[in-house]
Amino acid sequence: MKVTFNGNPLTLIGSQLSIGDLFPSKDIINNDLSNLDITKESGAKIVITVPSVDTPVCDQEIKRFNDEVSKLKNITCYTISMDLPFAQARWCGSSNISNVKVLSDYKTRDLSKSIGVFIEELALTTRASFVLDANNKVIFAEYLSEITDHPSYNKILDAAKNI
């Protein structure tokens, strides 16, 4: 898949996930610098990847999911970016984010590369969304061709509600 940033082509590293695939087991970093493997967490999940929490579209996206996920039962929402955990924690605090777990793949980039969201030229993650069932099977996957676009919020939330 080709991805662009303001119309300029970029290179994604890794293979993209499809419906039916298992989400890979990889450690990423919590805001307290501890490791976390999303697949070891219980329940269904919404996983979104964003270029940076501190940009307009990403800010709006995470805030929307923070509001929406509070209405869903047994669904945890994770946001992954390359932002340093300190910056993520500061942004979450100033934005009152309490229903979304914001995580970083800055250290190894293993997860981002394994799900095809790592942008080679920018060393950031592209905008993508996944809904996983309790067994970490992908039941919804969306990779946006333009990273400044918003995701399909209603489709993501409908997939999560139908688990």
Q: For residue range 33-68, what is the model confidence (pLDDT) as tens digits?
A: 999 999 999 999 999 999 999 999 999 999 999 999
The count of C-alpha atoms lying within 13 angstroms of the C-alpha of 67, restricted to the half-sphere facing its C-beta, is: 7
Options 53, 58, 62, 100, the catalytic residue: 58
**Ranges of each domain in the chain:** 3-161
Contact between residue 87 and residue 58 where contact means Cβ atoms under 8 Å apart: no
pLDDT greater at residue 2 or residue 15: 15
Give 30's pLDDT tier (boundaries 50, 70, 90): very high
Would you say residue 1 has pLDDT above 90? no
pLDDT tens across 72-91, in order? 988 999 999 999 999 999 99
| Residue 104: predicted pLDDT | 98
**pLDDT above 90: percentage of residues in the chain:** 97
C-alpha span between 81 and 52 (Å, rounded): 6
Q: In the structure encoding, which two tokens stand for residue 19, read together?
A: 């419906």
Give 18's pLDDT tier (boundaries 50, 70, 90): very high
> Which residue from 23, 77, 68 is spatially nearest to 46, judged by alpha carbons?
77
Would you say residue 17 has pLDDT above 80? yes
C-alpha span between 96 and 66 (Å, rounded): 9
- Is pTM beyond 0.85? Reply is yes
| Residue 51: predicted pLDDT | 97
Q: Is 92 considered catalytic here?
A: no
| Residue 152: predicted pLDDT | 97
The residues with which 10 forms a beta bridge, in sequence order, are 3
Provide the phi-psi class of 86: left if phi over 0, else alpha when psi is between -120 and 50, else beta: alpha
Q: 3-161 has which CATH code?
A: 3.40.30.10
Give 123's pLDDT tier (boundaries 50, 70, 90): very high
Would you say residue 3 has pLDDT above 90? yes
